[in-house]
Structure 1
Amino acid sequence: MRQLVHWCVVVFAVCSSTVVQAADFFFKDGDVVVMIGDSITEQHLYSNYVEMWTVTRFPKWKLTFRNVGIGGDRSPGGNSRFTRDVLIHKPTALTVDFGMNDGGYGEFSDKVFKPYMDGLQGMADQVKAAHIRAAWITPQPLDAGDQGPTALVGYNKTLEEMSKGVKEIAGKNGGLFVDQFHPYLSVLDAARAKGPKYDRITAGDAVHPGPPGQALMAASILKGLSFPTLVSSVEINAADGKVVAATNCQIDNVATKDGGLSFSRLDGALPFFPAEAAAILPHAPLLEELNHYPLKVTGLAAGKYAVRVGG
């Protein structure tokens, strides 16, 4: 017979226990966030996922997100429309994600690299003049259907070189560098290693990922922004009914009965993952990586226990 570890979860409450640490997270309470980029940004997928992960982790924060991606755009275009599309929102934080179109879908050369860098630097100058915190994000690699052990071939080699330019701009201008290219590439290559034939894992098309690929983008970006992965955590000693530790939650109504344990858990945040992106999970454990939600119960007799939530 299996005993029960049973709890009731209530979320979005102000909890008296230690809250999730946000000191290192790029976004701050009160931020107006603008996300500029090309058609990949304009899809409103990775940008929405970044927003949802943030507001569910920090439900008490007052945040505004604005997506100003435009299809076909390159960094010089972002620079030329910066006043119209970015500064009009009076942002306190900005993410910049260009490069996919800037490389010209061919071999890397100074002919494509110099305009790219000039456009990024032009935006950086405007960022500094407006006192905006900026995160400079690399393009993600193509997920093409070509076969082989690595996706780092063809145009992806160009995008890797373009990514080095993003790092240079961030370092030169006091911004935050966010590398989504290499984490994304490592997931693609791990999928390629699973069998002799590679089938694309990010949906959409090679350039424009669908929800699975855009969730991978969002996760890579959030990690680069030092997103706090803890939702809440609890440790209870069932032998004496004492709460040993609780972070970002409040524990009440602890009771032991019939060899099991029950309690109420009042959480200060929610885990999040977009259901439409679930196809990426066999290739990248994003659900666990960005939603740390542990429960530890000690003091129980040896045996098998079922865990039930909400009733």
Structure 2
Amino acid sequence: MLHLFTDKETENQNSVQPHVLFLGDSITADGQYIRLAGEWLKEHRPHPGVRLTARGVPSETASGLSEAAHPFPRPCIHGRLTRELAEACPDVAVACYGMNDGIYHPFSAERFAAYQDGMRRLSAQIHEAGAKLVLLTPPPFDAGSMNGPLLPADADDFSYLTPYRDYDRVLELYADWLLAGGCPADQIIDLRTPLVKHIRQERSLNSAYRYGDGIHPDASGHRVMAHTLLQELFGAEPE
């Protein structure tokens, strides 16, 4: 947990309101988990409070990669990071990338290297701007919730509409790399593990449970993300 968000700091009414900037893809652009965390903090930690700003962009990557079938080249955080940091002047930047970075293909060392390079560049620029960096592991890909076809590894091509059936294994490798300290950060928060546990628990109670569309979490998934964020970043124990 960052010192910035210890109880002593957040309860000091004379402290400056910390600003947290969230960067990510469509999951962050949706922003449910950020809104839920913000609502809890506003009620339970009002002095001085924490300002949360969600600046996710749908389809975005850190790697700069894009699958051929995507309707337009995927945007990359490095096309806007300088502007976002200059406008927001955050104390902390929280970044969640990975879901789109493997572009829904089987594992590739080249794609993994592009993700690693993109994340390390992101880390360096955020730290150069004087902000602390918190990395969130990519949420899981849930094949059981997908409506479209799931392709074997020897298929001709893959996309978010026709993903590799075991794409979650790729995301697991990306998450493990972050958790092992592969990218310099002030804190790394594991979203994957509690979300995988949540999906398994829900499906054990209801075999028809759908985790959103398999890529984007449903409302219950966002609640798990918010709960984890509050625990790990803010040292809170929400019910």
Indicate whether the TM-score tops 0.5: yes
1:216 match? 224
- TM-score of the two chains, using structure 2 as the length reference: 0.75
How far apart, CA to CA, are the structure 2 residues paired with 1:48 and 1:228?
A: 16
2:178 match? 166
CA-to-partner distance for each residue in 1:42-90, whole Å, 9 max, x for gaps? Answer: 0121111122122222112243222110000001411331111233210
1:306 match? none
* Unaligned residue ranges in structure 1 (runs of 5+): 1-20, 148-152, 230-289, 292-311
1:34 match? 21
Judge conservation of contact 1:191–1:198 (CA < 8 Å) in 2: no
Secondary structure of the structure 2 residue equivalent to 1:51: helix
How far apart, CA to CA, are the structure 1 residues paired with 2:42 and 2:168?
A: 33
Q: Establish whether residue 155 from structure 1 lines up as the match of residue 181 from structure 2.
A: no
More helix by share: 2
> Which runs of structure 2 are paired with 1:111-260 in the superposition (5 Å)?
111-145=110-144, 154-168=166-180, 170=181, 173-194=184-205, 197-200=207-210, 202=211, 204-229=212-237
Q: CA deviation at 1:29?
A: 5.4
CA-to-partner distance for each residue in 1:141-186, whole Å, 9 max, x for gaps? Answer: 1233269xxxxx7111111101122224x56524201000011101
How far apart, CA to CA, are the structure 2 residues paired with 1:159 and 1:24?
A: 35
CA-to-partner distance for each residue in 1:274-301, whole Å, 9 max, x for gaps? Answer: xxxxxxxxxxxxxxxx13xxxxxxxxxx
Judge conservation of contact 1:171–1:177 (CA < 8 Å) in 2: no
Judge conservation of contact 1:92–1:132 (CA < 8 Å) in 2: yes
* Unaligned residue ranges in structure 2 (runs of 5+): 1-5, 64-75, 147-164
Judge conservation of contact 1:79–1:120 (CA < 8 Å) in 2: no
Judge conservation of contact 1:68–1:86 (CA < 8 Å) in 2: no
Change (3 A) 1:223 1:63: closer
Judge conservation of contact 1:134–1:175 (CA < 8 Å) in 2: yes
Q: CA deviation at 1:114?
A: 0.9
1:64 match? 51
Secondary structure of the structure 2 residue equivalent to 1:75: coil
How far apart, CA to CA, are the structure 2 residues paired with 1:32 and 1:109?
A: 37
Larger radius of gyration: 1
1:46 match? 33
- TM-score of the two chains, using structure 1 as the length reference: 0.59
How far apart, CA to CA, are the structure 2 residues paired with 1:103 and 1:132?
A: 27
Give the ranges of 4+ consecutive aligned residues of structure 1 lying more than 6 Å apart after TM superposition. none
Change (3 A) 1:187 1:175: same
Q: Establish whether residue 103 from structure 1 lines up as the match of residue 102 from structure 2.
A: yes
Change (3 A) 1:172 1:114: closer
How far apart, CA to CA, are the structure 2 residues paired with 1:31 and 1:126?
A: 19
